[in-house]
A = this chain, B = another copy of it.
Amino acid sequence: MQIDITLSAADTTPDRVAHRSVAVIDVFRATSVMVTALEHGIRKIIPVTTVEEAEALRASYLSQGERVITGGERNAVKIAGFDRDNSPYSYMDDRALEGKTFIMSTTNGTRAVNASRTAAAIYIAAMLNYRAVCSRIIEDNRDVTLVCSGRENRFTLEDALCAGMMADELLQRTGNAELSDIAWSLRDLYLLYRNDMKRGLSRSRHYNDLLRLGFAGDIDYCLQCGVTDKVPVVDERFQITG
């Protein structure tokens, strides 16, 4: 099994993911939110790039009598006119969410999913469900690329650490994986920080920005490792279920 890692949507060219099992990672907070929402009753998630697409899709679903919510963020805050923001804590009310379709728009995560379209299979990964996603990848028995969403097409540390953690898990469990240079490096970086993730992340710009905006609770939630076996799958229409 070959293991590779891309660092942003821009880095995720078709050749890096074609025919592979792919896990898309956006720890703060898109993929953490996706996993949480599906755990709490959401039936299907449709990631879209623009606010306009989201509004149009919502109108279309409502006209067909479907139950739908809109959520996400721009620059970490709730989009005007959307139902919910991008905090995992906004997706834990099962009774209100049960069976609904969640139309989601975020700054980075949706681009990374789109960039992965040549993959054989696409899973949604966060620290929350990393072990379960690794199990699915091992079952697939294909080469794998872990796709970090990054931030504005640049490397962001929390996604890189999640990818490194998954590379380490896959290496340990298969015993014979072949890692690219970046996969080895991020795995070693993860091992360096594993006993104090927050200290390692204290240099991360995104981490610090979220703290400044008052999202310490979201951070703590998203840094929980392997607490759910939910493995969201992206289908050929780019809709996510799990």
Please report A residues at the B interface, Cβ cutoff 8 Å.
7, 10-11, 154-157, 160, 179-182, 184-185, 188-189, 192, 203-206
**For residue A182, which residue of chain B has the nearest CB?**
B155
Q: Do the beta carbons of B189 and A188 come within 8 Å of each other? A: yes
Q: Which of chain B's residues have a CB closer than 8 A to the CB of A10?
A: 11
C-alpha gap A155/B156 in the complex (Å): 15
A86 to chain B, nearest CB (A): 20
Q: How far is the CA of A189 from the CA of B157 in the complex (A)?
A: 13
Indicate whether A203 sits within 8 Å of B189 (C-beta atoms), given known contacts A7-B7, A11-B11: no
CB within 8 A of A192: which of B155, B179, B192, B205?
B192
Q: Which residues of B contact A188 (CB under 8 A)?
A: 189, 192
Determine the chain B residues whose CB is within 8 A of the CB of A182 once the complex forms. Answer: 7, 154-155
The minimal Cβ–Cβ distance linking A48 to chain B, given in whole angstroms, is: 25
- Closest residue on chain B to residue A200 by CB atoms: B188
Q: B residues within 8 A CB of A204? A: 181, 184
